[in-house]
Chain A
Amino acid sequence: MIKLEHIARTFKVGDELVHGLDDVCLDIKDGEYISIMGPSGSGKSTLLNVLGLLDKPDQGHYFLDGSNVTELSEQNQANVRREKIGFVFQTFHLVPRLTAAENIALPLTLAGVPHEERDQRVQDVLKSLSLTNRGHHRPDQLSGGQRQRVAIARAVITNPVVMLADEPTGNLDHASGIEVINILEDLNKNGITLLLVTHDIELGERAHRIIHMMDGKVYS
């Protein structure tokens, strides 16, 4: 379902060209569970950003569900992000002034889903992530593990086909980290394609397929 053909992404730092991604070719099938590993600066985040349509490659083609999404307009790329892709970040990125429930509902709110349906879906997701009585708490009233669960809830509420998780356990203690990974793996068992960037070898090896990266190149 995901196909990358000769993707390159270079950054200009001063006079130097840095290869964030260098001739990356990749095939990912529906429902795969992949971990991406590699040293710092090897291009893992850049890869996820390109896959998530947050960043534009300088060269190459990206096919998602058979359509060439590199060619899409800004508006259509936004639609693809909204409908097909879920993001989980190392630093959670919750909106501090909104409650957990409002944070989770945010993608639906932005998409214009009506109130009642939104509330229903938020309740369902809160329940499945055992956050039921945390809905009205603000992010600063939650633990790190709870925050990341809220962030995952926000990512799954739109029923995406791909989940991109960039070091989701990076800011968590071991126990909360395991908990978060378990949730992500459950989602994968229910059919979502999961791409997980991690530095933790033990966590990385739980994936069905491991992609190693080095200097912007991919070694499967």
Chain B
Amino acid sequence: MHIDDTLQFAFHAMRGYRTRTYLMLLAMAIGVASVVLLTSLGEGARIYVSQQFSSLGTHILIVLPGRAETTGGMPPIMGETPRDLTLDDVAAIQRSRHVKQLAPIVLGAAPVSYQQLEREVMVMGSTASLYSVRQMSLSSGQFLPEQEITRASSVCVLGYTLKKELFGSTSPLGKWVRVSEYRCRVIGVTADEGVSLGMDLGEVLIMPAASAQSLFNVNSVFRILVEADSQEEMALAKQDVIDIIRERHDGEDDITVLSQDALLSTFDRILTALTYSLGGIAAISLLVAGIMIMNVMLVAVAQRTAEIGLLKALGSPRRQIIMLFLTESACLSIIGAMLGLLFGLSGNWVLQQYFPDFPFQAPDWALWAAVCIALSTGLLFGMLPARHAANLDAVTALSGR
């Protein structure tokens, strides 16, 4: 039998039993569409996170106090109290020739007020180089002045949102704001950049690290961002940082140095795993669709017993009858899968209109996998009914007994 005749026979049968056909197409389509949508969510999260990371700048090492037991992981939550990192440590690291520039970060919350308006905000202590390390931009004024790391001065840069809350549309440059019991002069305002890495720079007040330390009455640094010149330099810079701190901390390795790549690849792994598991969950609905195809095809075989008997009388061997019924389930699953792709991708498009910041993007492998799984469940679950049809006794089938 020619392939086009086989296909035509299948299509005749599909048209002959419309309700059944629509139900099966729908089941398949829903399965495939959910694979597309769920993996798009996972993949979107992955792309979103890596975009966030790239806003941090490239070739960045993050130095934090305390030693992580596993490389590339998160710092320990409990354990020995490590020695703090200080601004002297920062100055020492800065002398490494593999370090291009670095920015310490001191972090705390404090009330910030101007005239009658007061806000509780994040205060970030750092240095002038934070500007280029974090790849920031300003909407007005200038950033922290270049000066000795350990020197305090009474200036600050306001986050864009904070400035709006405290000053409205008037220029804050040159005005004095009160931060807890200190006063400092506003010298700049950050650009409206939105959130990056969970920290909204629009909501913070940035001041020299030494000033922040005395504001919060601490000697420690929350973390240090170290920038190297290139990918190759990063490893050297990392080793340098470790060596310098070990020497300064009486031979103890009590810091953790994370590279941005390591962090990113950790997130990447987690989110890829998430995408796979979402895909797997969605694939269960494909399995359900497969079982539905099996049931409906079994009913179809029962309905068409006489027809199968006739095919045998007309000289169809078993192989051909299996082929005819398998073609039918394969066609149903392929068409269902195509509809599912259509539903899924247009679903993505609609979601994208509602959430323009989040990339809804189905990974290519998911599209292929969805179609392949749809087809193979169709064939797999179509096999039983097809064999059932081929094994029918011709005489019984024809007599309708």
List B contacts of A82 (CB < 8 A): 314-315
Q: A54-B313, A83-B315, A97-B12 are in contact. Are A112 and B394 (CB under 8 A)?
A: no
Query: Is A89 within 8 A of B1, CB to CB?
Result: no
Task: State how many angstroms separate the Cβ of B186 from the closest Cβ of chain A.
Answer: 82
* Bound CA–CA A52/B395 (angstroms): 10
Query: Is B307 within 8 A of A112, CB to CB?
Result: no
List B contacts of A127 (CB < 8 A): none
Answer whether residue B320 sits at the interface, using C-beta atoms and an 8 A cutoff: yes
Q: A93-B306, A97-B13, A98-B12 are in contact. Are A106 and B314 (CB under 8 A)?
A: yes
Answer whether residue A55 sits at the interface, using C-beta atoms and an 8 A cutoff: yes
Query: Is B1 within 8 A of A109, CB to CB?
Result: yes
Query: Is A107 within 8 A of B315, CB to CB?
Result: yes
List A contacts of B314 (CB < 8 A): 81-82, 87, 106-107, 110, 154
Answer whether residue A78 sits at the interface, using C-beta atoms and an 8 A cutoff: yes
Answer whether residue A111 sits at the interface, using C-beta atoms and an 8 A cutoff: yes
Interface size class of B (residues with CB under 8 A): 20 to 34
Q: A55-B395, A112-B2 are in contact. Are A97 and B316 (CB under 8 A)?
A: no
* Bound CA–CA A89/B309 (angstroms): 12
Query: Is B312 within 8 A of A111, CB to CB?
Result: no
Answer whether residue B57 sits at the interface, using C-beta atoms and an 8 A cutoff: no
Query: Is B310 within 8 A of A74, CB to CB?
Result: no
Task: State how many angstroms separate the Cβ of B375 from the closest Cβ of chain A.
Answer: 25
User: Which residue on chain A has the smallest CB distance to residue B9?
Assistant: A109
* Bound CA–CA A155/B345 (angstroms): 50
Interface size class of A (residues with CB under 8 A): 20 to 34
14 more contacts with CB within 8 A, not counting A102-B12, A106-B314, are A49-B395, A54-B313, A75-B318, A75-B319, A78-B318, A89-B398, A93-B309, A93-B398, A95-B307, A96-B16, A97-B15, A110-B314, A110-B320, A112-B1
Residues of B in contact with A (beta carbons under 8 Å apart)? 1-2, 5, 9, 12-13, 15-16, 306-307, 309-320, 394-395, 398-400
Residues of A in contact with B (beta carbons under 8 Å apart)? 45, 49, 52, 54-55, 74-75, 78-79, 81-83, 87, 89, 91, 93, 95-98, 102, 106-107, 109-112, 114, 154, 158
Q: 17 A-B Cβ contacts within 8 A?
A: A45-B399, A52-B313, A55-B394, A78-B318, A79-B317, A81-B312, A81-B313, A87-B313, A93-B307, A96-B16, A97-B15, A102-B12, A106-B314, A109-B2, A110-B316, A111-B1, A112-B1
